[in-house]
Amino acid sequence: MTTTTPDSNDPLALRDRIQRLGLFGLLTSWSDIADQPWLAKLVDLEEHERKRRSLERRLVKARIGAFKPIADFDWTWPAKIDRDAIEDLLTLRFVDEGANAVFVGPNGLGKTMLLRNLAHQATLRGHTVRFTTASDMLADLAAQESSVALSRRLRRYTQPRLLCVDEVGYLSYSNRYADLLFEVVTRRYNDGRAIVLSTNKKFAEWNEVFPHAACTVTLIDRLIHRAEIIDLEGESYRLKEAKERTATKTAARKSRRKGA
């Protein structure tokens, strides 16, 4: 539903909005249409549609994928989680500050869910966003066959206002991949663009992720310099659900046997 904005009855404010929209045909005829009652409604409709289409484009480019909303997050399950810190991240002040956030913890505690929610909120707020797994991003960059192609592809990960990189540490990478991640982190660090990253490895263990890379220490240093580190601890929620499902099926089979 489109609503009329408070400045719709202010001719000067309305003219400024028309100019920002680039509706030069209306500006050319301004003296003839300035007092028309339909003009403000027309501008409202145009602004609403452009915002809708802009959001649609940004959501497609963000590649967030399907996810559960933060309202469904079970805060009671992890043995350790800083809810206040995560809710503060959801205000997105860190994006405006060009700061980073790193979620560190074992599999199955909701790190990906948190990243996807942050990516979605940032997109809704008007930021450009890119969500990717570490393996997808690094494979994409490594596949570029020339320095020109690589430079062009790097912009995919360095230009968005927020980059969300999931699952660092699940695989080991070559020096080439380490250098590419270093390049992404360094460019974003220099430009003051935020990164949210999840990893199942403590930083002291990143030498296992990039076993022969000379840039690992500097990479970590630039990543955490302006970052909030959020540790999660506990048993996998997926493992919990699997155990519950097994228990339910076992109970059902016992019940069927008794009734047989």
Is pLDDT at 8 greater than 80 in this prediction? no
How far, in Å, are 21, 30, 69 from residue 197 at the CA level? 36, 51, 19
The mean of the pLDDT values for the chain is: 90
Across residues 194-208, what is the average pLDDT? 95
Q: What is the pLDDT of residue 49?
A: 82
Report pLDDT digits (tens) over 93-137.
999 999 999 999 999 999 999 999 999 999 999 999 999 999 999
Across residues 34-48, what is the average pLDDT? 86
DSSP 210-231: STT-TTHHHHHHHHHTTEEEEE
Is pLDDT at 260 greater than 90 in this prediction? no
Write the CB contacts of 158 (distance below 8 Å, at least 6 apart in sequence): 184, 187, 188, 191, 193
pLDDT over 90 percentage in the chain: 64
Is pLDDT at 9 greater than 80 in this prediction? no
Report pLDDT digits (tens) over 131-189.
999 999 999 999 999 999 999 999 999 999 999 999 999 888 899 999 999 999 999 99
Give the least confident one: 30-34, 72-76, 102-106, 158-162.
30-34
CA distance between the termini of the chain: 59
Q: Which CATH superfamily is domain 70-239 in?
A: P-loop containing nucleotide triphosphate hydrolases (3.40.50.300)
Give residue limits of the domains in the chain: 6-61, 70-239
Nearest to 102 by CA among 246, 236, 206, 247: 206
